[in-house]
Amino acid sequence: ESKQLGKNTFSYYSKELHEEALRKTSILTGLKDAIEQESFDLHFQPKVNLSNGKVESAEALLRWSRDNPSGFMPDEFIPILESTELIHEIGKWVIDEACRVCKKWHDAGFDQLCISVNVSSVQFMRNSFKTHVFNALKKYDLAPEFLEIELTEHVLIQHNATITAQLKSLKDLGIQLSIDDFVTGYSNLSYLINFKVDTIKLDKSFILELNTSKNHFAVVKAVIQMAHILNLNVVAEGVETTAVRNILVNLKCDFAQGYLWSKAVPEKQFIDSLESFNKVLTVS
Ligand code: C2E
Ligand code: MG
Ligand code: MG
Ligand code: MG
């Protein structure tokens, strides 16, 4: 009987795998068309300074906004792009578009706003990445300190000469470096000392549980203390409630992002809503 069960289990999984492969191939075809037809947009989510309630920055998040009938989100399509050359093409566009929008905001008088861009490890491992950054900053005449790149720990734990050299030249240029999804990856923290990291970004899986789980609270508290000893800023992502926001203020977390203020929105809506984001912040 157990043999029977094993057999069923096997065919069940291979069917699943087959469907998964088909699904991936069909998304990939859609993605190729989408790149050709420029069906992507960047949306922007405010990052709030918790000490004064002001929006000081925006995270650019990729959206496949046209001809995407299944409504695929980045968590689903970015890994597929990463398995092909397309990630480099789209990644280059993301950097360019983020710099363009940031410069536009500056020209409109919001001249202190910074912009963060997510960069996947395959993208960062390529030598030409820094050239894309240099070119975009130059093209829009944007000062490097207004641009932040968000990398995950996966990038920094690899002892790879390209990565080290690339990080050094980007830091020498003056861009900001943030570690995304912090604490979901590795526990070897030596890269915090070996590289010029500016900011740690606490993963939302910790923040969402902050007011319901003692253990999550303890980890968040410890990370904030450690970061401050190392002179790093801490951003909490996934702040959805005032209860969580208040805990973060008490823990002296530096910045926050989350649906409490806004989801990621198009560039015009972002600028038009700046005042209202600030209002949410000042209500305790
Ligand atoms: P991430 O960089 O960690 O971004 C945070 C994700 O959490 C975003 O999902 C954001 O919309 C979502 N989020 C923000 N506030 C809240 C909240 O209060 N509650 C909850 N539950 N979620 C919140 P999104 O936009 O779907 O992006 C998912 C991931 O895809 C990103 O995670 C990032 O790793 C990747 N990604 C997005 N855009 C790009 C891009 O342009 N390039 C690359 N390489 N990766 C990107
Ligand atoms: Mg991010
Ligand atoms: Mg994150
Ligand atoms: Mg994430």
Q: Which atom of ligand 1 is nearest to the CA of 240?
A: 18
**What pLDDT is stored for residue 231 in this prediction?**
96
Burial class of residue 25 in the structure, from the number of CB atoms within 10 Å of its CB (0-12 exposed, 13-18 middle, 19+ buried)? exposed
Give the Å distance between the CA of 12 and the centre of ligand 3.
34
Of 29-38, 83-92, 208-217, 241-250, least confident by mean pLDDT is 29-38
Q: Which residues surround ligand 2, an ion (CB under 5 A)?
A: 118, 150, 180
Q: What is the ipTM of this complex?
A: 0.98
Query: Which amino acid is residue 58, in one-letter code?
Result: A
Of 24-38, 50-64, 168-182, 212-226, least confident by mean pLDDT is 24-38
Q: Which has the higher per-residue pLDDT, 145 or 10?
A: 145
Cα 98 from Cα 63, distance rounded (Å) = 13
- pLDDT cut 90: percent of the chain above it: 72
User: Per-residue confidence at 12, pLDDT binned at 50, 70, 90?
Assistant: low
Question: Mutation test of ligand 1: which of 35, 61, 90, 99 has the most ligand atoms closer than 8 Å to its C-beta?
Answer: 61
Give the Å distance between the CA of 272 and the centre of ligand 4.
26
**What pLDDT is stored for residue 243 in this prediction?**
96
Q: Which has the higher per-residue pLDDT, 153 or 280?
A: 153
**What pLDDT is stored for residue 222 in this prediction?**
95
**What pLDDT is stored for residue 101 in this prediction?**
98
Verify whether ligand 1 is closer than 6 Å to residue 154 (CB atom). Answer: no
**Residue 2 clears pLDDT 50, i.e. is over it:** no
Sign of CA dihedral 184, 185, 191, 197: negative
**Residue 26 clears pLDDT 50, i.e. is over it:** yes
- Which ligand has the nearest atom to the CA of 120? 1
User: What mean pLDDT do residues 176-197 have?
Assistant: 87
